[in-house]
Structure 1
Amino acid sequence: MVTVLDAAPSMAPLFVRAALTPRGRGGDLPGTRLARRGVTVDAAEVAGYARVCRFPLADALPVTFPHVLTFPLQVALMSDRAFPLALPGLVHVRNRVDVLRPVGLGEALDLEVWAERFAVHPRGATVDLCASVSAGGAEVWRGRSTYLARGARAPEGAPASVLDVTAGDLPPGTIRWRVPGDAGRRYARVSGDVNPIHLSGSTARAFGFPRAIAHGMWVKARALAALSGRLPDALIVDVGFRRPLLLPSTVRLATAGVDGGWDLAVRSATSGADHLVGTVRPL
């Protein structure tokens, strides 16, 4: 069943509702799909997103920007009582986007999201939140975000999670970023993702983190922005989020050209531990 919404849901009330209704969930994933039709993006909003993520301004959307359009629909799906996992505490562990072609700034877009692949993980259960973006009746972008619910149980007979994203041998990385303490709030303003674990130390500590952590999708976007001008027009970007990036921090970006694309990692500048590991390949 597809439910078409007239406007993007406001995410702050959805996060509040999810925080108030974590108990009593269970069962299988709902078959509901949420959609919006004929969505056009505001050029100023895209410019703000590009500025925070360091993408250059262009006639095409940044490759990760459609996630910003579809994410409110995914949050609406996850915050509904029919969704079997509690949204507070879900950890984004993997994200893949397929860009079938560059998406023009002025195109009217149709968005659709759904949940699938309820799977068993050694630390709980995972679920994939999927998104499809179409223009003129043809799909132009798709995304898949995998979330881990620690301590949760998948239904009987569920498959095992597939989370590993590996890159080849990478150099230590010479590009250094100083990620400021307000990076989560800055990204929240341009993405609408107001998950409290990203906004302040006090709200992050309520969910078990010692400090606020950077949005995984900001880390991914920032890494791709560093490769602007060297990415294929049609591509697959698949990343695993290995460790939370506590704010503030200093990180290094390591890259290597592979098969017309890239292997990459975002690493702690002090310990060398990987926060993100991923691959970029032509589609």
Structure 2
Amino acid sequence: MTVKELSAAPNLTTLYPKAVAGGLRRSGGDSLPDTEYVRRGVTVDPRHLADYGRVCGFRLSDELPATYPHVLAFGMQIALMTEPDFPFPLLGMVHVANRITQRRPLRLGEPMTLRVRTDEARPHDKGTQFDVISEVLPGDEDEPVWTDVSTYLHRGGTSGSAGAPRARPTELAPPAPTARWRVPADIGRRYAEVSGDRNPIHLHRLTARMFGFRSAIAHGMWTKARCLAAFEGRLPGAYTVDVGFKRPVLLPATVGFTSWHSGAAGWAFELWHARKPTPHLTGTITPE
């Protein structure tokens, strides 16, 4: 594996034009690059953490929400997926699932090493799926205490040989929400400011229409973070939170949130369309 050391966070302003240019090229097969990006000595800006908490619904704390390191690694993920040897165009990619494992809480002030790589391109009935793996190693530790696996779908070019969608869990609750949230029209722009994810489908109705959406849609990782914030005060120090992204949240929206106990001290949860039995997101929280 080729390891590339980064001295600073990648500049997303320059990476998005690369993503657009990459969207004009044809897929170069499905061989993922054997490259890992590494950035050492990363510390959290308290103001940025506070801004993230306000946008996603977390309380102010020196303990990082489990979804927060994803935004620290996001630029490295985009940099890796806009390299010339990356086989798939970034535009049109679908984020279908995300699994985060936290082995202990990370705290404000801890120096961290971030690592990002890709893994396991595999056939799907709609194209090719692959994972982007991000890790956090505190200080000089050799083992990650936080791991994020983002699964993406590149549509087209499938052999149709495998990759049926994940079956819906049998314990799903009916759409009787325990909470209803109003999602404002500007949440995509607000989350873009703290995450760096300025995909045009999230920013404005007009730019979203260019990609086939009738309005801007909420970021999948915002919906995951907003759901996780609903569990604050009830989570163990070590756990895995695993979600599948189902239907986009068209902005503005009213959504229903449902949660219930599942397994040994675990949780299951869903985010629903407020007036239809259509889930936007399904997830589980499992103690480690």
TM-score past 0.5 threshold: yes
Residue 7 of structure 1 corresponds to 8
Per-residue CA deviations over 1:5-42 (Å, capped at 9, x if unaligned) read 11111223212211112214413100011110010010
Aligned partner of 2:178 among 169, 174, 180:
174
After superposition, the CA RMSD in angstroms is 1.7
Q: Does 1:128 align with 2:131?
A: yes
Confirm or deny that 1:75 pairs with 2:78.
yes
Cα deviation, residue 167, structure 1: 6.4
Which residue of 51, 54, 57 corresponds with 1:51? 54
Q: Aligned-pair distance for 1:200? A: 0.7
Report the counterpart of residue 143 of structure 1 in structure 2.
148
For residue 110 of structure 1, give the secondary structure of its aligned residue in structure 2. strand
Q: How does 1:57-68 map to 2 (within 5 A)?
A: 57-68=60-71
User: C-alpha separation between the residues in 2 aligned to 1:217 and 1:257?
Assistant: 22
Question: Which residue of 1 is the match for residue 35 of structure 2?
Answer: 32
1:110 to 106, 109, 113: 113
TM-score normalized with structure 1 length: 0.95
Q: Which amino acid aligns with 2:275?
A: T
What is the aligned counterpart of 1:250 among 254, 273, 279? Answer: 254
Cα displacement (A) at 1:162: 6.6
Per-residue displacement from partner, 1:143-190 (whole Å, max 9, x unpaired)?
000011111347x9x964674563623251120001011110000011
CA distance in 2, matches of 1:173, 1:34: 41
User: Structure 1: 5+ residue runs without aligned partners?
Assistant: none
The answer on whether the counterparts of 1:126 and 1:161 sit within 8 Å (CA) in structure 2 is: no
1:186 alignment partner, one of 186, 190, 197:
190
Call closer, same or farther: CA 1:182–1:266 in 2, change over 3 Å.
same
TM-score (structure 2 length as normaliser):
0.93
Q: In structure 2, do the counterparts of structure 1 residues 21 and 60 end up closer, same or farther at CA, with 3 Å as the change threshold? A: same
The answer to whether the Cα contact below 8 Å between 1:170 and 1:263 also exists between their aligned partners in 2 is no
Q: Higher mean Cα deviation, 247-256 or 13-22?
A: 13-22
Q: Identity over the aligned pairs, expressed in percent?
A: 48
Instruction: Pick one of 120, 129, 152 that aligns with 2:157.
Output: 152
Three-state SS of the structure 1 residue aligned to 2:144 is strand
Q: Retained in 1: the 8 A contact 2:97–2:243?
A: yes
Q: Separation in 1 of the partners of 2:152 and 2:89?
A: 11
2:270 to 255, 265, 268: 265
Cα distance change of structure 1 residues 56 and 164 upon mapping to structure 2, 3 Å threshold: farther
Aligned partners of 2:168, 2:118: CA distance in 1, in Å? 21
Q: Structure 1 counterpart of 2:269, which letter?
A: L
Distance in 1 (CA, whole Å) between partners of 2:63 and 2:168 is 27
Q: State the alpha-carbon separation in 1 of the partners of residues 106 and 133 from structure 2.
A: 18
Structure 2 counterpart of 1:55, one-letter code: F
Amino acid in the other structure paired with 2:144: E
Q: How many residue pairs align between the two structures?
A: 281
Q: CA deviation at 1:216?
A: 0.3
One-letter code aligned to 1:128:
D
For 1:164 and 1:4, how far apart are their aligned partners in 2?
A: 39
Distance of aligned partners of 1:246 and 1:69 in 2 relative to their CA distance in 1, 3 Å threshold: same
Q: Which runs of 5+ in 2 are unaligned?
A: none
Give secondary structure in 1 for the equivalent of 2:190: helix
SS at match of 1:132: strand
CA contact (8 A) 1:93 1:163 kept: no
Code of the residue aligned with 1:95 in structure 2: it is N
Task: Give the aligned residue type for 2:274.
Answer: A
Matched, 1:91 2:90: no
Residue type at the aligned position of 1:185: R
Separation in 2, partners of 1:18, 1:134: 28
